[in-house]
């Protein structure tokens, strides 16, 4: 079992020191969120809260995850970084490949791309991407990303993206893993087809168990049952050593957590208090697991 630290919605000026401390405490990775902007109104419900409302405000800080990975990678040596999850539907995959390539190179190969479609029509439309047929467009964008990031002179001719021979250098020092997010059947099938893992939003243990079982079925159908596959989970009802062991038993390989929440601290808490929570979690959980 691995433990990864989510830095979602934390002040930007705390990120590099949180990364240093997380590395010292034995965390495997830093998990980087993605939100392009806060629109005053949205024409779709947020899919991961019971009432469809957003749990952040227009004042909540969101640093670009690829820029954040490069900055935190510069002050650390071992800890990894991955997005959970980057909204691929509103982005151009050729430009994104350049950015992912750079993040992977600057972190010495310590970068993984967690990706999803995206839920807000405004993020698509205001970034110049169509909301319609977004799933098909994302499938093609994933193909483009993998093609470019794997290196060499490549070309692509699809329904949504079309380009002649090109190469981006340097090639990432190691293969960039793709972790697919989403709870729908379509998203799970996408993860089973092209993912090196699956990344959850907030879920209860029994819902995670059902989803992990379904992912195993889908991967077996595609002949991928024996391939390595990460299950990155945000479980909302099992904590502590016993709770994390329960998560491991159902197939979770990577617990995404924010330890200061267990100590009653908010996103805007002082850095020193958060660091104390990380050190306590490292000693009481990571070191004993």
What's residue 227's pLDDT?
A: 97
- The pLDDT confidence band at residue 92, using thresholds 50, 70 and 90, is very high
Look-up: residue for tokens 């009653």?
Answer: 264
What's residue 62's pLDDT?
A: 94
Quick one: three-class SS letters along 112-130? EEEEECCCCHHHHHHCCCC
What's residue 258's pLDDT?
A: 98
What's residue 84's pLDDT?
A: 96
What's residue 260's pLDDT?
A: 98
pLDDT tens digits for range 223-254: 999 999 999 999 999 999 999 999 999 999 99
- The pLDDT confidence band at residue 124, using thresholds 50, 70 and 90, is very high
Is residue 179 classed exposed, middle or buried when 0-12, 13-18 and 19+ CB atoms within 10 A define those classes? Answer: buried
Strands 162-166 and 178-181: unpaired
Which residues are registered as beta bridge partners of 29? 4, 80
Domains of the chain, first to last = 2-288 (3.20.20.30)
What's residue 235's pLDDT?
A: 97
What's residue 126's pLDDT?
A: 97
What's residue 185's pLDDT?
A: 97
- The pLDDT confidence band at residue 255, using thresholds 50, 70 and 90, is very high
């Amino acid at each position: 079992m691995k433990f990864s630290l989510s830095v979602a919605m934390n002040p930007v000026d705390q990120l590099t020191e949180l990364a240093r401390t997380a590395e010292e405490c034995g965390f495997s990775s830093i998990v980087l969120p993605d939100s392009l902007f806060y629109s005053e109104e949205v024409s779709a419900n947020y899919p991961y809260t019971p009432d469809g409302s957003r749990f952040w405000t227009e004042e909540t800080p969101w640093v670009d995850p690829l820029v954040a990975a490069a900055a935190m990678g510069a002050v650390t040596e071992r800890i990894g970084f991955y997005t959970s999850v980057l909204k691929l539907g509103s982005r151009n995959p050729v430009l994104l490949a350049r950015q992912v390539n750079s993040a992977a190179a600057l972190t010495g190969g310590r970068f993984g791309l967690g990706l999803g479609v995206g839920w807000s029509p405004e993020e698509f439309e205001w970034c110049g991407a169509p909301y319609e047929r977004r799933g098909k467009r994302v499938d093609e964008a994933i193909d483009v990303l993998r093609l470019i990031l794997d290196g060499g002179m490549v070309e692509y001719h699809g329904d949504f993206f079309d380009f002649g021979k090109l190469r981006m250098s340097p090639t990432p020092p190691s293969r960039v893993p793709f972790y697919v997010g989403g709870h729908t059947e379509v998203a799970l099938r996408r993860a089973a087809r092209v993912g090196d893992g699956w990344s959850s939003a907030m879920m209860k243990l029994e819902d995670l168990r059902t989803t992990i079982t379904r992912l195993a079925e889908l991967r077996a159908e595609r002949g991928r049952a024996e391939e390595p596959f990460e299950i990155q989970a945000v479980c909302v009802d099992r904590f502590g050593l016993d709770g994390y062991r329960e998560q491991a038993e159902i197939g979770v390989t990577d617990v995404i957590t924010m330890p200061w929440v267990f100590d009653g601290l908010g996103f805007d808490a002082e850095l020193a208090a958060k660091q104390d929570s990380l050190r306590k979690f490292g000693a009481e959980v990571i070191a004993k697991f």
